[in-house]
Amino acid sequence: MSLIEADLRVDSRCKIAILASRWNPSITDTLVVGARTCLKQNGLSDEQVDVVRVPGAWEIPIAANALAGSKKYHAIIALGCVVRGDTRHYEHVADECARGLMDVALKFNIPVCNGVLAVEDYAHAQARAGGSAGNKGEEVALAALEMANLFNKISEIQ
């Protein structure tokens, strides 16, 4: 029996895309900084990380599809913030964004790590963007590194 387990070692060829919404910039910009800082602290150079911005969370899956289709990246980090409002728009955007990201991951066999916050209010978003609940951008970046490492290990045994 073999045990295949990832770690946070970075291959010098590893390339990661951070795909982030511009909507709710006080939140999303903080998530991007958290992700970039984490990647840098774990050995990725600026040249190994591309930041791609889109208008809102609704546009994230289609941009992720284009990035994955380029075959240039070993993982995609999706960051955004959808805050519940007075209508059902929140559910449509948050749910379809998550579904779209999973579709891209499965279609292209690439880790697409979902850091799109779906929160009740701005206080919850702030708590997850560097506040009391940490920085979800950083957490998702760690998951992306680990999954890129795992996929690399899996490809070596095939």
Residues annotated as catalytic are: 89
Q: Which tokens hold the place of 31?
A: 């998530």
Q: Are 16 and 44 in contact (CB under 8 A)?
A: yes
CA distance 58 to 82: 10
- Strands annotated E in the chain: 16-21, 49-54, 75-83, 112-119, 129-131, 134-135
